[in-house]
Structures are given as C-alpha cells and as structure tokens.
Amino acid sequence: MPGWDYENIMGRLELNEDDVFVTTSHDHAVNAVIWIVKKYCPETYEVQLYRVEAEEKVGLVAIKCHPLGRNSTKVRVAYTYIGLSERGRRFIENFTEEAYQEFIEEWRTLLIEYFANKL
C-alpha cells in the first residue's frame, strides 16, 4: 500500500492473533504506531487491530469484508479511539463523521489503485 510501510516484528509473513508490527508513516499518525492483532478470522473476512500511539491515543480498528462477487468486495471499517493526552483528545474531537468519510475515501482510492496494479 503506498505510504504504508511497516516493520515486521514477528519475522513471519502470515498474520496471526497477538502479532505486533510497527508503522512510521501512514494516515493521520504523528509518531510511530504499534499495532497489535486482536482478532484475525480469515474464514469470516474479519480482522481487528489495536493501534497504540504512545502518549497520544489508543485505537481499535475493526475491518469486516463482505464479498459481493468475483471482483468486488464491500469493506466496513470502524475506528474507536481513547485519548491518552490532550493532543489525543483533540484528535478525537476533530475526527468527525465528515473527517472520517474523507479519510476512508482516500483509503478506498488507494486500495482501488493498489489492486488495479496487481491484476
């Protein structure tokens, strides 16, 4: 994914619950983010990840995919944040429905471009 580099802490490619990885450049993070896989269910197309931004906020990202056909998938993404500082609380206050829609639309565009180049 463009602009979403991660450090593989676990040393394996397959994803498992309780895995940990770190990102340093992506979406709205200011600092490095520690990600912990909470739930991974490939058979139901579902994953939940904790994202920890030290001294700022902790988030739970829940992703559920619904296959619509051979080349189409509906993806539901939900973010839940807890502020750890004034800066984190300000982020949450400003992460309105409108801001979320703009943010997730950018991800949608990036994913479409990514998969179009893979086929």
pLDDT in tens, the chain (119 residues): 556 677 888 888 889 999 999 988 665 556 789 999 999 999 999 999 999 999 999 999 999 999 998 888 899 999 999 999 999 999 999 999 999 999 899 888 888 888 788 76
pLDDT at 116: 82
The C-alpha angle 116, 117, 119, rounded to 5 degrees, equals 70
pLDDT at 74: 92
pTM of the model: 0.85
Across the chain, how many H-helices and E-strands are there? 2, 6
Burial class (CB in 10 A: 0-12, 13-18, 19+), 33: buried
Q: What order of strands is seen across the sheet that includes strand 20-25?
A: 5-8, 20-25, 33-41, 46-53, 57-69, 72-83
